[in-house]
């Protein structure tokens, strides 16, 4: 048999606030990643070197190629 626990309304509300913040910030991060990837593709199209872009973005050259090729 399972024990039923009483959940305080304030605790439930605080949890809901945290869940909403996570959802909001996850969407913000996804938008930032999209912008970064578009910027990288644009810079590559202008002749930027993947190694230099990787250094600037804190990524490996291989990751830059993944972004370029749309593999991630």
pLDDT tens column, 13-59: 999 999 999 999 999 999 999 999 999 999 999 999 999 999 999 99
Q: How far apart are CA 6 and CA 38, in angstroms?
A: 48
Asked if the model's pLDDT at residue 1 lies above 80, the reply is: no
What confidence category does residue 6 fall into, taking pLDDT thresholds of 50, 70 and 90?
A: confident
* Alpha helices (H) in 1-72, listed in sequence order: 9-45, 50-57, 61-69
pLDDT at site 3: 62
Is the pLDDT at 7 greater than 90? The verdict is no
| pLDDT of amino acid 4 | 62
Domain coordinates of the chain in residue numbers? Answer: 36-72
The verdict on pTM exceeding 0.85 is no
């Amino acid at each position: 048999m399972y024990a039923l626990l009483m959940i305080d309304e304030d605790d439930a509300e605080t949890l809901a606030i945290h869940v909403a913040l996570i959802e909001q910030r996850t969407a913000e991060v996804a938008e930032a990643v999209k912008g970064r990837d578009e910027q990288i593709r644009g810079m590559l199209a202008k002749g930027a070197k993947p190694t230099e872009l990787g250094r600037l973005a804190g990524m490996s050259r291989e990751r830059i190629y993944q972004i370029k090729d749309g593999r991630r």
